[in-house]
Structure 1
Amino acid sequence: MIRLDDLGLFVRTAALGSFSAAAREANLLPGQASAAIKRLERELDLRLFVRSTRTLRLTTEGEQYLETAREVLDTLHAGHERLRAADGPLSGVLRVAAPSDLGRNALLPWLTEFRAAHPALVLRLFLSDQVTDVFRDPVDVAFRLGRFEDARYVTLPLAPANRRVLVASPAYLAARGRPQSLDELRQHDGLLYTLGGRTHDQWAFEVDGRRQVVPMRAALLSDDAEITRRWAVAGQGIAYKSWLDVCDDVRDGRLVALFAQHGESVPLHLVCPHRKQFSPAIRQLHALLRPRFEALTDRLPTG
C-alpha cells in the first residue's frame, strides 16, 4: 500500500531535485527520504528517479506519475480544508511569500491584524526580492506583481490598477530640477535594483497606448528593492517603484510622483499553483486585503 508521506516526499524531492533537501524540509535524515522513495518505487514497480553521484532527475515514468501524485495530494488537501472550513475558526499553518518592500511597508501590519483575528492560525511570512516559485518552494500563496497568463497559476486580484511610479524627494528636485519629459530622465541619477544578476536599468512606460523604454544611468544599485525607496527619500536620485511601495511617502510629502499617468501597469495578485490550494485562510486573507489595496490605488496621481 502506498504511504501518503512517501507520496509527499516524492513530490518535494522532484521539486527540489535532492533527497537531502526534501529530508531537511520534512525534518528527516537524507537516508529516510531515499528509503521512502525506494519503498514507493517498489509499490509502483517502476523507477521514479535516475540517480548519480551528482544529479537526481525524474525518469520518463517518474514525470508521468508526478502529475498524478500532485492531484492526489491536492484532492486530500482540499478535503481537509473543507472539513476545517466546516469547523469554523481558521487553524493550521499558512505560508505566505511576498516581495520584501511590499511586505515591510504594507503587508506587515495587516498580516499581524489577520493573525490576531485568527489566533489558532500559524502564519509564516517569507520576504524576498527573489521571485517565489510556488511549485518548488514550500509556500501556500505568494504576492506577485505583474500579469500572469500561465494556465498553471490561479490568481486572486488584489490591486488591478496598480502602476509603477517615478519618485524623487523634494530636495533632489530642488537641487537637480524636475524633468519635463521622459527623455530628460537620462540626465538624472537612477536608483536601480538588481534581481537574479540583472540590473533593471531599462524603465518602461505607457505613452498614448505605446510602450516607451528609457535607459537609465545608475547612481546607486542594490539587490534590495526597499533600499531604492530609502535612497529616494534621502534625496539620492529618482526611483521607479510600485505605487503600493511609495504611496505613503507621496502622501506625507517625503517623495514627489513624476509622470504617474505613464507608469507601467503592475497589478498585484495572490498566486497559487492550483485552485484547490485556495484554502479558507487564503480566501479570508484575500477578502481582508483586496479593499485595502484598492483604496491605495485609488490615490494614484493622474499627472
Structure 2
Amino acid sequence: MLKGLQDLQILLETARQGSLSNVARSMDMTPAAISAAIKRVEQQLGTALFVRSTRNLRLTPQGELYLQQCEQALATLEAAEARLHSQQTHLQGQLHLSLPSDLGRHLFMQLLDEFLQLYPKVNLKLQISDHLSNLYRQPLDLLIRYGVPPDSNLISLPLVADNRRVLCASPEYIARHGAPTSPQTLSQHNCLCFMLADRLHNRWQFSRDGEVLSVEVSGDRSADDGEMVHRWALAGVGIAYKSLLDVAADITAGRLVALCDQWQGELAPLNLLVPDRRQLSPLIKTLRQFLLQRLGQASE
C-alpha cells in the first residue's frame, strides 16, 4: 500500500482498537511507528485527531468527522489498487508489434521494457522496419508509424498527434560548416536524406506565420533506414530532418543541435495502426494508454 494510504489505515485501526500497542501488534509495527504516523497526519491537517490518556485513545470531534470520510475514501482507493494489481496479474498474451527503425531501437526499447516489467505475463515479438508492413498478410497485431497510412482501411489511433520534424546537426558539423541561417540556405549544406519504397525524401517542408516553404535538398548519402540517418547526423557528416521523438534526447544532451528553430518542420504524427477495431484487445488498449502517458511525459 502507498505510504500515505498506510498512514490512513493506521488511523482507522487506532480508532477501532483505541490502543497504540494493540495496533502495533496487529500491523507488525512498533508503537513508536504508529504514533509517528498519527502525528504526520495531524501535522498535515493542523488539528488533533485523538485525545490521549495513559491507557487508551479516543477520537476528538474533528477526528470523528475526518475518519468517517477517510474510511469511505480508503475503501475506494483500496478497491482501485486491487483492481490495478488484478489487471497487471491477469493481462497476458503475445503482442506482435512493428516499429520504425530509429524509434524502435531507442525510445521505444526503453518504453517497452518498462511495459513488460509492469505486465510480466506479456510476451513481445518485435519487428523493426521503416517499411509499412502488411497487417493483413503478416502475423502482426499492430503497427506504430509516423504519418497517415496509405491504406485508408486501417484504423489509425493517435499517440503523438503534434509531433514534428526538426532540422538538426551535430556541434562538430556546425563548427566545420556553420549553421544554415534559414531553410533556403540548405542548398549550401550536405543533407542526409531518407528513402522509403525507393522514393527519396529530399523535399523538406517548413512553415512560419502562415508561410509554407518547400526546399529541395541534396547530399552525398541517403538510406532507407531512419537510424542510419540518425547515426550519420551524430557522426557530424551532415544535416538531418528527423522526427523530434527520435532526436529529442540527443538535442537535450547536446549531441545534436536544432537548427532554423524560427521555422516549424512538417507534422509527423505518430499513430497506432490496426486493421480492425475488433482487434483492439485489452492488451492493445492497455499498451496504448501506457504509451499515451509516457510519450506525453517525454514530449513535455
Partner of residue 290, structure 1: 292
- How far off its partner does 1:87 sit? 11
**1:206 aligned to 2:207?**
yes
Amino acid at match of 1:287: Q
Question: Which entry has the higher C-alpha Rg, 1 or 2?
Answer: 2
- How far off its partner does 1:109 sit? 1.6
Q: Deviations over 1:201-240 (max 9, x none)?
A: 1112223334321111122222211011111111101000
Structure 1 residue ranges without an equivalent (≥5) = 1-84, 299-303
Distance 1:100 1:142 in 2: 12
Aligned 8 A contact 1:95 1:140 in 2: yes
Aligned 8 A contact 1:161 1:297 in 2: no
Amino acid at match of 2:278: K
Distance 2:210 2:89 in 1: 48
- How far off its partner does 1:297 sit? 2.7
Distance 1:103 1:118 in 2: 19
Amino acid at match of 1:139: L
Comparing 182-191 with 213-222, greater Cα deviation is found at 213-222
| Length-normalised TM-score, structure 2 | 0.67
**1:94 aligned to 2:87?**
no
Partner of residue 114, structure 1: 115
Aligned 8 A contact 2:207 2:213 in 1: yes
Aligned 8 A contact 1:167 1:255 in 2: yes
Q: Deviations over 1:157-195 (max 9, x none)?
A: 211110000000111112111111110011100111222
Aligned 8 A contact 2:164 2:244 in 1: yes
Q: Deviations over 1:134-175 (max 9, x none)?
A: 223221111011135965222222111100000001111121
Partner of residue 238, structure 2: 237
| Length-normalised TM-score, structure 1 | 0.66
Q: Deviations over 1:252-275 (max 9, x none)?
A: 000001134411001111111111
**1:169 aligned to 2:170?**
yes
Structure 2 residue ranges without an equivalent (≥5) = 1-85
Matches within 5 A, 1:116-155: 116-147=117-148, 151-155=152-156
- How far off its partner does 1:283 sit? 0.8
Matches within 5 A, 1:1-303: 89-147=90-148, 151-260=152-261, 261-298=263-300
Distance 1:212 1:225 in 2: 23
The 1:148/1:138 distance shift into structure 2, 3 A limit, reads same
Aligned 8 A contact 1:164 1:241 in 2: yes
- How far off its partner does 1:126 sit? 0.5
Partner of residue 59, structure 1: none
Q: How many residues align?
A: 214
Distance 1:169 1:148 in 2: 31
Distance 1:118 1:153 in 2: 27
Distance 1:227 1:276 in 2: 36
Distance 2:104 2:270 in 1: 13
Aligned 8 A contact 2:97 2:124 in 1: yes
Distance 1:87 1:239 in 2: 40
Distance 2:126 2:210 in 1: 38
- Give the SS at the match of 1:219: coil
Distance 2:289 2:295 in 1: 11
